[in-house]
């Protein structure tokens, strides 16, 4: 239904691997997934998709505006569904939990910082690295 429209409008054929990757993000157990994460989840559910294909599809989806890519501390990048709402991230250094937030003031001051220095802001990445205080953090207690 909706997935097809998304793919079509992006000029992408509706293939099995692409539909599976997309529904993984839409089923939404975890919002932020790396290529490896996606690959493993598909394998686990009996769907055989090559790792190279996962990488390709993720990048195509990003270019099509279906996904957003982030580079949290560490080497591998993660993707999340693009729901139109820009937000930034707080990442727990101990358990890796990711919390999203949006601060209009921060956004505004960034625009100003760029403009004041003769830049045309294109986008930005803001990651806050912190430690959970909550008991949920699996590296606490």
Partner DNA sequence: TTGCTAATGCTAATCATTCTCATTTGCAAT
Partner DNA sequence: ATTGCAAATGAGAATGATTAGCATTAGCAA
- Site of interaction with a second copy (CB under 8 A): 71, 73, 90, 92-93, 99, 101, 103, 105-106, 109-110, 113-114, 117-134
Buried b (16+ CB within 10 A) or exposed e, 60-83: bbeeeebbbebebeeeeebbbbbe
- The sign of the torsion formed by the CA atoms of 95, 100, 105, 108 equals positive
Residue 1's binding partner out of Zn ion, Mn ion, a second copy, none, with CB under 5 to 8 Å set by partner kind: none
Reading phi first (left if > 0) and then psi (alpha if -120 to 50, else beta), residue 65 is in left
Which residue, 41 or 49, is less far from Mn ion as judged by CB? 41
Contact string 16-55 vs Mn ion (x = CB under 5 A): ----------------------------------------
Residue 8's binding partner out of a second copy, Zn ion, Mn ion, none, with CB under 5 to 8 Å set by partner kind: none
Among 23, 26, 37, 31, residue whose Cα is nearest residue 98: 31
Q: Does 100 bind Mn ion (CB under 5 A)?
A: yes
């Amino acid at each position: 239904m909706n997935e097809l429209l998304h793919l079509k409008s992006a000029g992408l054929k509706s293939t099995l691997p692409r539909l599976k990757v997309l529904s993984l993000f839409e089923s939404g157990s975890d919002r932020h997934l790396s290529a490896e994460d996606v690959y493993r989840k598909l394998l686990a559910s009996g769907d055989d998709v090559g790792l190279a294909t996962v990488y390709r599809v993720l990048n195509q989806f990003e270019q099509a505006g279906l996904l957003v890519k982030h580079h949290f501390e560490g080497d591998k990048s993660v993707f999340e569904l693009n729901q139109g709402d820009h937000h930034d991230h707080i990442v727990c250094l101990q358990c890796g939990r990711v919390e999203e937030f949006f601060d209009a003031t921060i956004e505004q001051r960034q625009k100003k910082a760029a403009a004041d220095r003769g830049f045309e802001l294109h986008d930005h990445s803001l990651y806050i690295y912190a430690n959970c205080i909550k008991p949920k953090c699996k590296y606490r207690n």
